[in-house]
Amino acid sequence: MKKYGVVGWYFFAIAVLFVTWWFISMIVRLPIVPSPVLVFQTLLAVFIKSIAIHSLYSLWRIAAGLVIAVFVGFPLGVLMGYFPSTDRFLAPIVYLTYPVPKIALLPILMLLCGVGEASKIIMIFLIIVFQVIIAVRDGIRIIPKETYYPLYSLGASFKEIFFEVLWPASLPKFITAIRVALATAISVLFFTETFGTQYGMGYFIMDAWLRVNYLEMYSGIMVLSFIGLILFAVIDIVEKYACQWQYK
Amino acid sequence: MIEALDLTVRYRSQNEIHVALKNVSLTVPTGMICAVIGPSGCGKSTLLKVFAGIIHKYEGKVSIDGEPVTPAKQKIGFIPQNYGLLPWRNVEENIFLGLKIKNTKRKTERNALLAIMHQLGIDGLERRYPGELSGGQQQRVSLARTFLLKPDVLLMDEPFSALDAITREEMQDVFFALWQQYEVTTVLVTHYVEEALYLGQKIVILSANPGHIDAIVDNPLFGSGDIRRKPEFFKMGLELRNLIKRSWNQS
Q: Is residue B190 part of a domain?
A: yes
Task: Decide which of B125, B151, B177 is a domain's last residue.
Answer: B151
A248 and B CB contact within 8 Å: yes
Q: A116-145: buried (b, 16+ CB within 10 Å) or exposed (e) per residue?
A: ebebbbbbbbbbbbbbbbbbbbebbeeeee
The answer on B39 and B8 residing in a single domain is yes
Mean pLDDT of B157-171: 87
Residue B202's beta-bridge partner residues? B34, B218
**pLDDT of amino acid A28:** 92
**Residues A152-205: tens digit of each pLDDT:** 999 999 999 999 999 999 999 999 999 999 998 999 999 999 988 899 999 999
Q: Of A96, A87, A184, A177, whose CA–CA distance to A132 is shortest?
A: A177
The answer on B138 and B90 residing in a single domain is yes
> Does the pLDDT at position B129 exceed 60?
yes
Q: Is the previous residue joined to A99 through a cis bond, with omega within 30 degrees of 0?
A: no
The answer on B158 and B124 residing in a single domain is no
The answer on B249 and B126 residing in a single domain is no
Residues of A in contact with B97 (CB under 8 A): 150-151, 154, 164
For B19, the domain range is 1-74+154-163+185-251
Q: Is residue B120 part of a domain?
A: yes
**DSSP, residue by residue, A103-134:** GGGHHHHHHHH-SSHHHHHHHHHHHHHHHHHH
Mark yes or no for CB contact B71/A150 under 8 Å.
no
B147 and A CB contact within 8 Å: no
| Nearest by CB: B78 against A144, A150, A169 | A150
> Does the pLDDT at position A4 exceed 80?
no
The answer on B247 and B197 residing in a single domain is yes
CATH number for position B8: 3.40.50.300
Chain B's closest residue to A172, CA to CA, is B88
Number of domains in chain B: 2
**Under 8 Å between Cβ of A186 and A66:** no
> Does the pLDDT at position B41 exceed 90?
no
- Can you give the pTM of this predicted structure? 0.86
B69 and A CB contact within 8 Å: no
Reported as a pLDDT band with limits 50, 70 and 90, residue B239 is confident
DSSP A200: S
| Nearest by CB: B132 against A146, A150, A248 | A248
Mean pLDDT of B138-157: 93
**pLDDT of amino acid A80:** 95
Mark yes or no for CB contact B98/A154 under 8 Å.
yes
Q: Is residue B174 part of a domain?
A: no
Mark yes or no for CB contact B101/A154 under 8 Å.
yes
**pLDDT of amino acid A1:** 46
The answer on B158 and B240 residing in a single domain is yes
Best probe of the B interface among A147, A149, A158, by most B CBs < 10 A, is A149
Q: Is residue B159 part of a domain?
A: yes
For A232, the domain range is 34-247
Reported as a pLDDT band with limits 50, 70 and 90, residue B202 is very high
Mark yes or no for CB contact A245/B90 under 8 Å.
yes
**Residues B26-40: tens digit of each pLDDT:** 999 999 999 999 888
**Residues A109-142: tens digit of each pLDDT:** 999 998 889 999 999 999 999 999 999 999 999 9
